[in-house]
Amino acid sequence: MSGIEGKVVAVTGAGSGIGEATALLLAERGAKVVLGARRTERLEALAARIERAGGHAAWIRTDVTRRADLSGLVGLARERYGRLDVLVSNAGVGLISPLDELRVEDWEEMIDVNLKGVLYGIAAALPVFREQGSGHFVNTVSTAGLRVVPLQSVYAGTKNAVRTISEGLRQEAGDGLRVTVVSPGAVRTDFTDRMDPQARARIDRMMETALSPDAVARAIAFAVEQPDGVDVGDIVVRPTAQA
Ligand SMILES: NC(=O)c1ccc[n+]([C@@H]2O[C@H](COP(=O)([O-])OP(=O)(O)OC[C@H]3O[C@@H](n4cnc5c(N)ncnc54)[C@H](OP(=O)(O)O)[C@@H]3O)[C@@H](O)[C@H]2O)c1
């Protein structure tokens, strides 16, 4: 199967920002999308919007820190649409702060969501992809891992852990499975809402030239639409003005 039309694509963190833009774009191009996040009212509204536009969408409450929820997301794709072609592991939190502040709970949340959440997605989807003989993992990482700056070390660490695991997965995957990591630079989303004021002040300056989430969605669509034998491994999408 190549192109986007007819593919079954599950997206985590689908209720806002990059996940929402990705679900909308892929559904517009004919994918059947399966939406996961914790805020179900957002998922319900997004699914209704996609269906009204003539697309196909299902949703299920998914907390990526719970392994069973990822099984539920993958299970819904199979139950509703018979298969899963792409898992976009996009849910993420950026609770950035100076290490001296010892915000250990924030570190743990970033590890749980950004790293373990992706691993739970792999655990849920890999056996299904093996059974099908095909499948595509798309993992949202970050330019924070490519250019490490103060306040972002734990966040960048989680993203680079996913980058490393994705490359290992790609090498183990064989010729049926594809693995893509997408590294967005600054993107205008709700991502900074939970940051502390000091961190937010720094990030807000970057956000002045931030991309629309659609730019990242188009990059993901590019990877998904390639023919089966073409694995787009690594995409960096940042604002032209970003250092
Ligand atoms: N914005 C940027 O500048 C930027 C740059 C580089 C990379 N990224 C990455 O892009 C991805 C998407 O972020 P965004 O910018 O689109 O921000 P966003 O609008 O805040 O989206 C993040 C999504 O993750 C979901 N989420 C958080 N914790 C979750 C959990 N435990 N289980 C399931 N879903 C969870 C949230 O939904 P619920 O709260 O409803 O669960 C939310 O929809 C993240 O991985 C982020 O690290 C963003």
Which residue would you say has higher pLDDT here, 29 or 195? 29
From the number of C-beta atoms within 10 Å of its C-beta (0-12, 13-18, 19+), residue 130 rates as middle
Q: How far is CA 171 from CA 146, 177, 233, in A?
A: 21, 10, 11
Q: Do 186 and 148 form a contact (C-beta atoms < 8 A)? A: no
For position 203, what pLDDT does the model report?
Answer: 83
Closest atom of ligand 1 relative to the 109 alpha carbon: 31
Work out the pLDDT band at 2, boundaries 50, 70, 90: low
Of the residues 59, 107, 155, 191, only one is catalytic, namely 155
Q: What percent of the chain shows pLDDT beyond 90?
A: 91
Prediction pTM value: 0.98
> 208 CB contacts (<8 Å, ≥6 apart)?
none
Model confidence pLDDT, tens digit, residues 58-112: 999 999 999 999 999 999 999 999 999 999 999 999 999 999 999 999 999 999 9
Pocket test for ligand 1, best of 18, 22, 111, 238 (most atoms within 8 A of CB): 18
Assess whether pLDDT exceeds 60 at residue 225. Answer: yes
Q: Can 155 be counted among the known catalytic residues? A: yes
Sign of CA dihedral 22, 26, 29, 34: negative
